[in-house]
């Protein structure tokens, strides 16, 4: 019996009855055997003997997120194992209202725009003159 499993994203272990191994991202071939099909210089193959066939991505960014498939071809039939890479990005405030003076009784809109993954939660607090929030 031929086995294939992914112990963590990017790691693929196979037994010794495998004739061909490939890594794919969505439907794009990244590696077929030890032949690199991807033009991305951050992606390389890590092999240890004939049983470990691992994909390494350096400096991961959000565009790397998605399904990765380790596919093997045996004499009996092809088998696949899939892992899903989730890329988290720290929260970043990229636009906030400037200081503004308004008359009592008028309306004002204060804006704060932030991005990140997962989406950040924005909380407004009113600080008293001593700098403490209420």
Measured CA to CA, the distance from residue 110 to residue 96 in angstroms comes to 8
Whether the CB-CB separation of 97 and 111 falls below 8 Å is answered with: yes
Task: Give the phi and the psi of residue 79 in degrees, each rounded to 5.
Answer: -135, 150
Predicted pLDDT at 88:
94
Residue-by-residue pLDDT tens, the chain, 134 positions: 333 344 444 556 555 555 678 888 988 999 888 889 999 999 998 887 777 788 999 999 989 999 999 988 777 778 888 999 999 999 999 999 999 999 999 999 999 999 999 999 999 998 887 766 65
Predicted pLDDT at 131:
61
Structure pTM? 0.67
Measured CA to CA, the distance from residue 27 to residue 69 in angstroms comes to 9
Measured CA to CA, the distance from residue 36 to residue 22 in angstroms comes to 10
Expressed in percent and rounded to 5, the helix, strand and coil fractions of the chain are: 0, 50, 50
Predicted pLDDT at 3:
37
Measured CA to CA, the distance from residue 11 to residue 54 in angstroms comes to 4
Task: Give the phi and the psi of residue 75 in degrees, each rounded to 5.
Answer: -65, -30
Tokens 């272990």 locate to 13
């Amino acid at each position: 019996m031929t086995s294939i499993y992914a112990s963590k994203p990017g790691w693929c272990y196979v037994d010794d009855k495998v004739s061909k191994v490939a890594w794919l991202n969505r439907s794009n071939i990244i590696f077929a055997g030890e032949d690199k099909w991807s033009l991305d210089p951050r992606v390389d193959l890590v092999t240890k003997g004939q049983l470990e066939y691992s994909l390494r991505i350096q400096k991961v960014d959000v565009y790397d997120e998605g399904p990765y498939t380790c596919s093997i071809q045996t004499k009996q039939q092809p088998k696949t194992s899939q892992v899903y890479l989730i890329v988290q990005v720290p929260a970043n405030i990229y636009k906030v209202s400037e200081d503004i003076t308004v008359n009592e009784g008028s309306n004002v809109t204060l804006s704060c725009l932030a991005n990140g993954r997962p989406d950040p939660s924005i909380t407004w607090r009113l600080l008293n003159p001593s700098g403490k929030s209420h």
